[in-house]
Structure 1
């Protein structure tokens, strides 16, 4: 299937099918060159920039987080004020990584799972500096009942079923080990309970930091929305949504066998029917809109990465927009 040529060549994502250290090294070099070249400065970074230590107060501006209202100053001045916060000098970041069977899919570029690993590498690069710690909870399909998830090269982990916790540690070497553990995940068939995966970031309670959920969000919002709102109470939350264009619309290619990677069900779809393609596009658009609405309701920042786009450029634009919003006094 032909694709329109991009104005600028997109960042080529190295395939991580072999999960080799050389592939991860090339990916890390790509992230470092792009992000260090365009985004400079520690602690004004990805999402947590304002930090959690109390600073000076200023007048409220539309878009400010009402949870930062400085009520004593507001009462004295009769004008609404918010409390500025100072960036913590040591940050803890946690990733919830969805590597269910639906991530082994792509029609326009790298596999969705490769994009998940790339997003995790970029987040690690943006946060693991100056003594900051990064950890992850990783989940895949149910697989064999009672079977424990195994990650090649991973440190000892705990967790029910195929959800495992990789402890938060500081240092680039530890971050590289974390990425190797994520990239070496054995994807199993079956559905992942995304709500339970997100809820693992709530236990045990931690001091305020950053929590990033990397998923295709194929599960209905009611299964994970409450857990995400609970997570947002204590942490700055980033939701990275990974999608493929064929999940949004069907091509006109005649009879198309379609397989659900999580259940193994096979259906034959007559894509030559324009009404069917229209209904499919409308249904998927409504589904994605429901996901975006749930993320907004939870107060999470939302970044969408597509397999047919330059994922690094999308991430750079997102980070730059986050920083620009904070310089104007807003939170999003």
Structure 2
């Protein structure tokens, strides 16, 4: 799948900096500046909105017995303690709490196609901010995070650790990357295969990408989801879905350098572009469903806080459904 963007127009490729406040000189200081801005403007808002729902971001590797109580209609019969039931002459179920000892990995696609953005932010900025916010939220609650970064290949592996300094190192690694020019098409399956061979312990894995890649990533993604809990974080820009009337444009493939001149004033061309984009969207979503992974979309023109809150709400509902927390007729309707 090629990634085209217009040349010579700010609205279609020359994205402005995400923050107008001047940052101190140096990449490390820049990461600190971005981290402080995110802590003040994003994480503080999330603290007020999530209200203790951080536990839904990760699921532990095991369960600890927390309590015994009488069976209720919505309970999972597999949790009935038959020994206690026999003694009490009434059904009792075991109540578990999840082990919080869990690691999270971010598989981040930083190939040339993510340098596109039609507004103030590029997809690369959105990816970096999402990873920084989620990593900081998780490490503040005792979890460990690591990352694998993909440029023209898997070129950086950051082992799992916790703490703010580690998150800064992760953010710095994402921001302090010089453009390599045309590097050929993205091979997302290489990133997924590398993760499968390297991450041995069960973890929560966030695949952060625009999914503009050579085909063949679907099977490795599904295989990764068989062992780990995988979340596909798809980063996109509105211009990739609907091309406005901008007249004659020169479009350049960001990964191969191939160029083509198109007339966006032609309504037929714009409709064909929208139809192809819609078809690709449907195929992508179908592939993610078949891979049995949760999916989250981040747009360059959308609010990051709203996206994360939606994601947490989705996981909370999924947890309720899987544990039998809703009546059968409502579970069937929600599914």
Category of TM-score, reference length = shorter chain: 0.7 to 0.9
Corresponding position of 2:210 = 216
Q: Is residue 2:233 matched to residue 1:240? A: yes
Q: Which runs of 5+ in 1 are unaligned?
A: 4-11, 74-82, 142-160
Corresponding position of 2:298 = 305
Corresponding position of 1:14 = 19
Q: Is residue 2:173 matched to residue 1:181? A: yes
Choose 1 or 2 for highest CA Rg: 2
**Cα distance change on mapping 1:201 and 1:86 into 2, 3 Å:** farther
TM-score of the aligned structures, taking structure 1 as reference length: 0.76
Q: Distance in 1 between matches of 2:293 and 2:321?
A: 19
Q: Distance in 1 between matches of 2:301 and 2:173?
A: 26
Corresponding position of 1:157 = none
Q: Distance in 2 between matches of 1:177 and 1:253?
A: 41
Corresponding position of 1:158 = none
Output the aligned Cα RMSD. Answer: 3.4
Corresponding position of 1:295 = 288
Q: Which runs of 5+ in 2 are unaligned?
A: 1-8, 12-16, 82-93, 325-334
Residue 258 of structure 1: how far off its partner (Å): 0.6
Q: Is residue 2:47 matched to residue 1:53? A: no
Q: Distance in 2 between matches of 1:264 and 1:70?
A: 57
Residue 203 of structure 1: how far off its partner (Å): 1.9
Q: Is residue 2:132 matched to residue 1:121? A: yes
Residue 276 of structure 1: how far off its partner (Å): 1.1
Q: Distance in 1 between matches of 2:127 and 2:249?
A: 27
Q: Residue 118 of structure 2 contacts residue 237 of structure 2 at CA under 8 Å; is this kept in 1?
A: yes
SS of 2:52's equivalent in the other structure is coil
**Cα distance change on mapping 1:197 and 1:60 into 2, 3 Å:** farther
Residue 129 of structure 1: how far off its partner (Å): 3.0
Matches within 5 A, 1:1-332: 13-14=18-19, 19=27, 20=30, 21-41=32-52, 44-46=55-57, 48-49=58-59, 52-53=62-63, 86-141=97-152, 161-188=153-180, 189-190=182-183, 191-220=185-214, 222-329=215-322
Q: Which protein has the bigger helix share?
A: 2
Corresponding position of 1:146 = none
Q: Distance in 1 between matches of 2:139 and 2:99?
A: 13
**Cα distance change on mapping 1:27 and 1:129 into 2, 3 Å:** closer
Q: Distance in 2 between matches of 1:217 and 1:265?
A: 19
Residue 206 of structure 1: how far off its partner (Å): 2.2
TM-score of the aligned structures, taking structure 2 as reference length: 0.76
CA offsets 1:140-174 (integer angstroms, 9 cap, x no match): 13xxxxxxxxxxxxxxxxxxx55221111122221
**Cα distance change on mapping 1:226 and 1:71 into 2, 3 Å:** farther
SS of 2:272's equivalent in the other structure is helix
Residue 14 of structure 1: how far off its partner (Å): 3.1
